[in-house]
Amino acid sequence: MTLSEFDDTYREKYDLVCGCDEAGRGPLAGDVFAAAVIFDKYTVIEGVNDSKKLTAKKREELFDEIVDKALDFSIQCATVEEIEKFNILNCAMLAMKRAVEAMKTRPDICLIDGNKTPDLECETVAVVKGDAKSQAVAAASILAKVARDRYMLEMAKQYPQYQFEKHKGYGTKLHYQMLDMYGESPIHRPSFLKKYYAKRSDKP
């Protein structure tokens, strides 16, 4: 079954099928992003897949095609401050809820990547590995990933010493080296750095 055929199984009962996914749950820094995408039943975009399986260049190319061909779409985020207040899982759900609700089109059902769903007015279905099964979810994963990468490139300009353009905020060796040298920036997630501090003898 192709990714678009998977979505068609839901279109037998629902007219407007929305896919939703997030990007940025794991990094040590930056907002978490989410996207929602609705296609009509005739739209098939070649190459759409789980964003993690695509090159950055391919994601950028598909981003423009998805935006152009989607019946409706939205990209939203939850901030570092919200992540610290509500935790990352709740903020991933919050970002997805914002993405769906920001669209002008009201979906009949939302396919949510993963095993949990945000609180939405429409029906929701959790689809484990949905970004590898559903075209709409895969498209949402691409929009969220590209939007977050672009945001991290902007953060790299504001805080060049951390080299966010290279690691996008993830916990790489380079990123930890920059943290050792410069400490936290305003966009770091303190709750994500507890283990890092615990391993250091000079805990703050």
Give the chain's domains with CATH numbers: 3-157 (3.30.420.10)
**Is-contact 76 98, C-beta < 8 A?**
yes
Could you report the per-residue pLDDT of 115-173, keeping only the tens digit for each?
Answer: 999 999 999 999 999 999 999 999 999 999 999 999 999 999 999 999 999 999 999 99
Mean pLDDT for the stretch of residues 197-204: 68
User: What is residue 103's DSSP assignment?
Assistant: S
Confidence check: pLDDT of 52 > 90: no
d(CA 28, CA 168): 9
Look up the pTM and report it. Answer: 0.95
Give the chain's length: 204
Computed over every residue of the chain, the mean pLDDT equals 96
Strand ordering across the sheet containing 123-127: 72-78, 32-38, 17-23, 109-113, 123-127
The confidence score (pLDDT) of residue 201 equals: 60
